[in-house]
Structure 1
Amino acid sequence: MATCAKFWVSMLVIKCVAGKDIPVGLLLPYDANYSYSMTQVKPAVQMAIAKVNEEKLASLNLTIKLVARDSQRSEVHGPLAAIDIYRSVYLFLGPVYGYSIAPVSRYAAYWNIPVITAGALETSFSEKSEYKTLTRVGLQYSEAATVFKHILIKYNWTNVALIYHGNPEGTPRSVCYMLMWPMLEMIIEYTGKPDVAFKRKFDENTEFNATKLLVEASLSARIIFLCASPDSMRKLMLSAHSLGYTNGEYVFFSIDLFGRKNDLARPWYDATKSLAENDRTKKAFKSVLSITLKKPNNQQYIQFSKEVKEKAKEEFPNVQYAEEEVNYFVGAFHDAVLLYAMALNKTLEVNGSLLNGLEVTHRMWNVSFNGVTGEVNIDDNGDRSTDYSLLGYNPSTDMFDTVGYYLGNKKKYQ
């Protein structure tokens, strides 16, 4: 490897790449209420950096260094954090929040700096003419809609109802709204009809009439897609049970992409309710099929989760993890570092410049590798192809188990 001889000077930026550190900016909120908080993700990123520094970059005399900044899950503070460090970093990891990463990604394209995130889930981020240096290692809402399209095709369903939680006007759109919008477009395209049979938004933070929603939906469709919090889902399904809609005439789909393991296994269970009440809710949920991310279920991920938690205690002794295994965002950001290290190697193999963010970005596209989250497939648009699980009630285990898969890389439901 040649000694450091290449300099890039722009807006008082001087970066030297060979035999030097490679600073990487991590832009996430420190607020532990978010599943992609700095307290949960940073330890995993540090583990990945240590791994690639030793196994991939030492021979190149390069070392990735982490620069962490609080994005505050804000459309103001996230971009400001990026502006604060862009003169020195070679990569941004994050943000996740759509209103934060949109301006960061636009600026990064101008600065010629790669961006990798497990966020940017909204459909608009697939437009790489605008987000030229953005690579997404997580799911996309549009792909989740494609999962339902394959299910509709498989069973030849055309009349569909959508019932979902939406935030009040003038506030950020809910996750359910973001999911339902591409689903709405997909259904219209698939059926050739100008609209779906029925769609209703409700605000679960206020009192809502679940019975009225379901009765109105039943006049138009027998296939009903629901997207709401666990508490609202229980309310909706109890109402469906009382109406006699859980006797097999209707099929209910629940969308819970980021659900916790225990909640997904027993979506009817509420610790504040009596045994009789939970049993009644369980009967209602026997008519529900749930779509969620296909999560790693192997010893490697269990061990990875254990090591992440141990490392987290060093810097964040008060951090709390909701379940035994770390969440989807933690693993995805870990694998983002592996992807970046691969791109650095490929760029240098062809005597490319690590200062050319667009070149490095494109070397992360149209590739596959094994990470802690399983097989990572990045398509030629810089977006990950994600696998999903379809869960349903299994009387043998008295839990929700997998009844089908959607393989994102193969675009196939089985």
Structure 2
Amino acid sequence: MHAFNLDTHTSAFIAMSITYLLFALHTLAYHVDTLSPATGKIPTTHTTVSTGKLNHTALLDMSIDFAVDPQENATAVASTMPTSTLAALAFGPDSGYVYEDRQGHVVKRENIEYDLTGLRVYNVGVLMASHLDSPFDLERCGPAVDLALDVINREFLKPHKIKLRKVQANYPSCSGAKAPGLAADMHFKNDVIAFIGPACAFALEPVARLAAYWNSPIITGMGDQLPSDDELTVTSGILGKIHKWKNESTDKSKYPTLTRMSYCQCRLKLVFASIFRQFKWKHVALIIDRSDLFSLTVGKNLEYGLRQEGLLSFVRELNGNEQEPYENYLKDASMYARVAILSLRGELVRKFMLAAYTLGMTNGDWVFLDVEIFQSSYWDDHDWEAGDAFDSHARKAYEALLRVSLLQPTNPEYQGFADKVRVMAKAYNYSFSDSEEVNFFIGAFYDGVYLLGMAFNETLSEGGDIRDGMAITRRMWNRSFHGITGHVRIDDNGDRDADYSISDLDPINGKFEVVAYYYGLHREYSAVAGKKMHWPGGREGPPPDVPRCGFLGNAPECHGNELTIMYGTFAFAIFLGFSFLVVYLMCKAKTVTSEAHTNKNLLEK
């Protein structure tokens, strides 16, 4: 037996250290939850203490004299359940804890974690495509999610002693190959209570199904975008998937926890139909580029919707990668309509408008429409100016073009938000160029997270369960609020009724300017007060639905004078013929009489 002799300073230091440790444990041990295992035995208490990088567990019951710290950045939880009722305390990576009785039956499983300020932490999963150079990838939308999480943690959840923490993952392309696996990791390993993203439709679809099964709310700022070009090769396969997603996402029976915060291509038909009603157009042609995925999906949605409305009279598809005589498509369309929708990528819109100019279709008798969701190189350049010898003709031709776009926010609040996104994007190794706008989808993700925070706040305030995804989702549907992108209206199916702008080309400055809006809430066309539509050819109004002489120029009323002249000419010809015949007969009779008289005289002699 050895005796240790400690000097006074050493003894005092040890005593102070022990006192400080006991005080720290006592101070940090106030986060106590009561658990009632299914066995009905004595409730247990547990406390999580976070100290710096590692999370440790303070044990309050001396019947368990050990602590477990399984890994860095993970929370280990120990129980004060009496040893008589506790057979084992099992830990898994990021999976909380599991109580088991002596028979090995699972009694309770839960994740509970607190931060240093005493807020209970819940994880939310952020799942987006990365490095796609698309307007909805992680590098652009991630900063908006971060900003929104910061706001809802501060404004909505802090009063409830709760904090949301982001768990982030990304996938390389717009497909469903990896997204569901990543979502499963988030659910089982990180115990997320909600999902933010994906944006791409084919990645979103399987994740939304899983989220519904797990009863987790899922928010997206997009939801319509198709897979990458290099992943799809068969057009019929694309269209089949498009049709399936459109049908299933419309009724939401298979995605009851999914909320889409952006626009739905399925509702573009309502925007165009409102324009056609405004100007009394009932015969519409539609030309679709099947080689461009966005043009194809927009075109097919318009074809399906406008055909139901009885507005389509002509539809043609083309392969935009092939050089074709575009004039032929316009000539064919002219036999059925004078209003044409060009669901084409920007470069091809310009070629068609130049062809229309050559055919004399841009002088006011025709009107063309296209879709540019917002200005972005991702959608191709829809401008008339290409820096070539045809710019002057293109500018003139574009006076006959109306453009439908999402209503892009321009208020000071949004500009301040955009400035923050630009700064925070650097943390994602991305820099916005001077010409790139912080687009609508980025704002839609912010509004989606903000709406999720409102739903959490309302649920907690009424004593609800923050893990009840269906209940959380129902609080997000069928409501309106003012978001960073303006007025946000989510319908009773969990889709946003987006607002759109209708623009035409100002012939003076050569720029597209907004002349009308389509408001999703009211679903009607609304002209901008004091703004005049510039109709081509100096016309004061829109071209008629049907030309005066018909699409083929053969209306009877246009041929009245021609028939009169034709019938008059024919009658005059008959009259002349008859007169000639009478004169001829008279002359003939006179000649015969004269000859007879002459012969008589000869005979008398």
State whether TM-score is above 0.5: yes
Give 3-state SS (helix, strand or coil) of 2:126's partner.
Answer: strand
1:79 Cα shift? 1.4
For 2:135 and 2:521, the matched residues in 1 are separated by: 26
Match of 2:297 among 161, 178, 186: 178
**Which amino acid in structure 2 is aligned with residue 30 of structure 1?**
S
Partner of 1:160: 284
SS at match of 1:237: helix
Q: CA deviation at 1:322?
A: 6.8
Report the CA distance between 1:69 and its aligned residue: 0.9
Matched position secondary structure for 1:339: helix
Superposition map of 1:3-402 within 5 A: 4=33, 14-16=110-112, 19-72=119-172, 73-87=174-188, 88-121=191-224, 123-124=246-247, 125-167=249-291, 174-191=293-310, 196-260=312-376, 267-270=383-386, 273-274=387-388, 276-316=389-429, 318-321=430-433, 323-402=435-514
Structure 2 SS opposite 1:370: strand
Deviation for aligned residue 1:86: 1.6
Distance 2:505 2:134 in 1: 29
AA paired with 2:331? V
Alpha-carbon distance change, 74 to 6 in structure 1, aligned in 2, over 3 angstroms: farther
- Write the distance in 2 (CA, Å) between the matches of 1:237 and 1:372: 36
Name the aligned partner's letter for residue 112 of structure 1: N
More displaced stretch, 328-337 vs 209-218: 209-218
Matched AA of 1:371:
G
Contact kept, 8 Å, 1:335 with 1:373, in 2: the verdict is: yes
Mapped partners of 2:178, 2:435: distance in 1: 30
More displaced, 279-288 or 208-217? Answer: 208-217
Equivalent position SS for 2:390: helix
Looking at structure 2, the residues matched to 4 and 211 of structure 1 have their Cα atoms a distance apart, in angstroms, of 75
Q: Is the Cα contact below 8 Å between 1:146 and 1:183 reproduced in 2?
A: no
d(CA) in 2 for partners of 1:115, 1:13: 23
Instruction: Report the residue type matching 1:181 in the other structure.
Output: K
User: Highest relative contact order (Cα 8 Å, sep 6+), 1 or 2?
Assistant: 1
| Aligned-partner Cα distance in 2 for 1:319–1:282 | 33
Aligned length: 400
Label 1:159 to 1:322 Cα distance change in 2 as closer, same or farther (>3 A). farther
State how far apart, in whole Å, the 2-side matches of 1:127 and 1:16 are: 36
5+ residue gaps, structure 1: 168-172
User: 2:32 & 2:468 partners in 1: Cα distance?
Assistant: 18
In structure 2, the residue corresponding to 1:162 is in which secondary structure?
strand
Instruction: Give distance in 1, aligned partners of 2:484 and 2:449.
Output: 11
State the secondary structure of the residue aligned to 1:65.
Answer: strand
CA distance in 2, matches of 1:351, 1:17: 20
Partner Cα separation in structure 2 for residue 279 and residue 396 of structure 1: 13
Whole-Å separation in 1 of the counterparts to 2:155 and 2:371: 39
CA spacing shift, 1:264–1:74, aligned 2, 3 Å: closer
Instruction: Call closer, same or farther: CA 1:200–1:333 in 2, change over 3 Å.
Output: same
Structure 2 SS opposite 1:23: strand
Separation of aligned partners in 2, 1:326 and 1:91: 25
Query: By how many angstroms is 1:67 displaced?
Result: 1.3
d(CA) in 1 for partners of 2:498, 2:109: 37
Which residue of structure 2 lines up, in the alignment, with residue 170 of structure 1? none
Aligned equivalents of 1:6, 1:183: Cα separation in 2: 56
Asked if the contact 2:211/2:217 (under 8 Å) is kept, the reply is yes
CA shift for structure 1 position 325: 2.8
Q: Which runs of 5+ in 2 are unaligned?
A: 1-30, 37-95, 99-105, 225-244, 527-605
Structure 1 position 16, deviation (Å)? 4.4
**How far apart are residue 281 of structure 1 and its match?**
1.0
Contact 2:349 2:382 in 1 (8 A): no
- Change in CA separation of 1:392 and 1:6 when aligned onto 2, cut-off 3 Å: farther
Change (3 A) 1:362 1:15: farther
Structure 1 pair 70–322 and aligned structure 2 pair: CA distance change class (3 A): farther
Q: 1:4–1:16: 8 Å Cα contact kept in structure 2?
A: no
| Distance across 2 between alignment mates of 1:348 and 1:66 | 20
CA distance in 1, matches of 2:385, 2:159: 53
Letter of the 1:283 partner, please give it. K
Deviation of the 1:162 alpha carbon: 0.6
Asked if 2 retains the 8 angstrom alpha-carbon contact of 1:264 and 1:400, the reply is: no
Secondary structure of 1:363's aligned partner: helix
Preserved contact between residue 350 and residue 382 of structure 2 (Cα < 8 Å): no
- Overall identity of the aligned pairs, in %: 32
The change in CA–CA distance for 1:266 and 1:29 in structure 2 (over 3 A counts) is closer
Which TM-score applies when normalising by structure 2? 0.62
Please give the per-residue CA displacement for 1:197-248, whole angstroms capped at 9, x wherever unaligned: 2111222233333222211111211110011211111111111111111111
Deviations 1:138-181 (A, max 9, x none): 100121111111112222222111111113xxxxx822222223
Farther-moved stretch of structure 1 (16-25 vs 207-216): 16-25
| 1:137–1:322 CA distance, 2 compared to 1 (3 A) | farther
Give the 3-state SS of the residue equivalent to 1:258 in structure 2.
Answer: coil
